[in-house]
Amino acid sequence: MMSLGAVIGAGYLLGAGAAINAAGPAVMISYALGGLVTLLVVALLAEMAAAMPAAGSFQFYVSFSLGGWAGFVTGCTYWLAFLIGPATEAIVAGEILHTWFPILPNWIYYLLIAALVMAVNAGGVLFFGEAEFWLAMIKALGLVAFILVGLAALFSPAGWQISPGMATAWGGFAPAGLGGILGAMMMVIFAYGGAEAIGMASEESKRPDRDIPRSLIGSVLLIIIIYMVSTAVLVSVLPWNQAGISSSPYTDAFRLLLGPGAALAMNFVVLTAALSTIGMGVYATSRVLFAMARDGYFPKALARIGKTGTPVYATGLWCLVLFLGAMAFYLFPDFAYLWLASLSGFGFLFSWLMIALSQPGLRRMLEKSSPEKLVWRVPLFPHIQRLAVILMAAILVAQVFLPSGRIVLLAGGAWIILASLYYFAVLRR
């Protein structure tokens, strides 16, 4: 459920509208490709996390296998991805709360969200896991309800004037061609981003050799199934050219099928999804900050652990940045949701690529020194690892040929350069 909490948020429930608008019904190919990449990456991560449990998870593995610079840049880029993503989620949650209770301004809701997430995370991994379980359950049930209602609308003789043929109306299955499929990829990666976060709990798990592979791979398979089925139903009941980011396409579809009451219920699901993803973002990136502070990259205060085993100062700093980030995006709306979400997707994809590149070196080292630690091995190695690297590199290269993709690559590249300058100018000295 923690992986569900990290992944299924407003990034999918709202961002799916942008992906569908870019690719049309062919967005199914985008989600299938994104799901395959995610599954390959978490399998590689599961092997490393089961063999060498470590707080901070893959940032530690990247540093161990590829060197300090690679680990530092990966940690910073992952932190950026999980800063932008939850900040946009906080805006979505704040807007929904303000719509329901307009007596308070939006910034108050951003502050309350940050405080709530801080309190839940400070309660320790067990309390946090319990909260995430129920939030993830709500949004999973919401998507299942949508799938059932959508299938009833498509195939039941109850009177709904909807046909499965709507999926290919208005331009066919792929109205924007290959460019549309590739153009939707960053939003799709953003929707899958966070699946790797369960690996952050490897050091806190009682049986990481058993729990981590099962949790990572099982959760990702479930997420892929939910995404593929719900997206297929969505593009069948809602014309793809009516999808966007002004509102959740799932809310629009429920309004079309069952009226405003159902749309209100779906907005509640979107709200819980946003809160769940924000909480998981804080959990994941506070562990990255903790690990980097422990390794000397940031002030040692961020490595302090509270009574519940939570890195309190790292969590508090991230919640403060979450609030400030949401305020900045609210005050300067020219930072379009689409660009921010795509940049977050770039951060996840870059981090995943570094995971895939670090796995062979770590496996070779363990095979020589401690083969008994490889309690779970990625099947079909090294072909799985090579396929993951090729697919992710291809997605990044494809962005060069897309106007929106070039902007995201430039912004992401600038961030990597800044992080590298900090590392070589300050940390090496």
Output the six-digit token pair for 406.
């070039």
- pLDDT (0 to 100) of residue 163: 53
Its domain, for residue 107, covers 2-427
Q: Which amino acid is at 69?
A: W
Q: CA 56 to CA 201: how far, in whole Å?
A: 8
- In this structure, what DSSP letter does residue 243 have? -
Output the six-digit token pair for 125.
């991994």
Q: CA 429 to CA 423: how far, in whole Å?
A: 9
Decide: 374 and 366 in contact? Cβ < 8 Å: yes
Decide: 288 and 325 in contact? Cβ < 8 Å: no
> 118-137 b/e with 16+ CB inside 10 Å = b?
bebbbbbbeebbebbeebbe
Q: Give the number of other CB atoms < 10 A from CB of residue 261.
A: 10
Which residue in the block uniquely carries the two structure tokens 């909807």? Answer: 162
Q: CA 253 to CA 258: how far, in whole Å?
A: 8
Q: CA 137 to CA 135: how far, in whole Å?
A: 5
- pLDDT (0 to 100) of residue 33: 95
Decide: 118 and 279 in contact? Cβ < 8 Å: no
Collapsing DSSP to helix, strand or coil, 167 comes out as helix
Closest CA relative to residue 237, chosen from 144, 187, 169: 169
Residues 6+ apart with CB under 8 A from 209: 50, 51, 375, 376
Output the six-digit token pair for 31.
């989600």
Q: CA 4 to CA 21: how far, in whole Å?
A: 25
Output the six-digit token pair for 213.
């592979």
Tally the domains of the chain.
1
Exposed, middle or buried, 246 (CB in 10 Å: 0-12/13-18/19+)? exposed
CATH code at 147? 1.20.1740.10
What is the chain's Cα-based Rg?
Answer: 21
Exposed, middle or buried, 386 (CB in 10 Å: 0-12/13-18/19+)? middle
- pLDDT (0 to 100) of residue 173: 78
Closest CA relative to residue 346, chosen from 395, 287, 385: 395
Sign, CA dihedral 249-82-192-276, equals: negative
Q: CA 308 to CA 208: how far, in whole Å?
A: 19
Collapsing DSSP to helix, strand or coil, 233 comes out as helix
Output the six-digit token pair for 245.
């980011």
Q: CA 153 to CA 164: how far, in whole Å?
A: 9
Q: CA 428 to CA 253: how far, in whole Å?
A: 54
- pLDDT (0 to 100) of residue 123: 67
Q: CA 240 to CA 400: how far, in whole Å?
A: 25
Decide: 299 and 293 in contact? Cβ < 8 Å: yes
- pLDDT (0 to 100) of residue 213: 75
- pLDDT (0 to 100) of residue 350: 95
Residue-level pLDDT, tens digit, the chain, 429 residues: 555 555 677 678 877 888 888 888 899 999 999 999 999 999 999 888 888 876 556 788 998 899 989 998 998 898 888 777 777 788 888 888 888 998 888 888 888 888 888 777 776 666 666 777 777 788 888 888 888 888 888 777 655 555 555 555 556 777 878 888 988 898 899 889 878 776 555 555 566 666 677 777 888 888 899 899 999 888 888 887 777 666 788 888 888 888 888 888 888 888 888 888 887 777 777 777 787 788 777 888 887 877 767 777 887 887 887 787 777 767 766 555 667 778 888 999 999 999 999 999 999 998 998 888 888 888 899 999 999 999 999 999 998 888 878 888 998 999 999 999 988 887 665
Decide: 195 and 38 in contact? Cβ < 8 Å: yes
Decide: 331 and 147 in contact? Cβ < 8 Å: no
Output the six-digit token pair for 372.
């008994």
Confirm whether pTM is higher than 0.95.
no
Decide: 308 and 143 in contact? Cβ < 8 Å: no
Output the six-digit token pair for 364.
């070779």
Decide: 291 and 55 in contact? Cβ < 8 Å: yes
Output the CA angle 386-391-394, nearest 5 degrees: 120
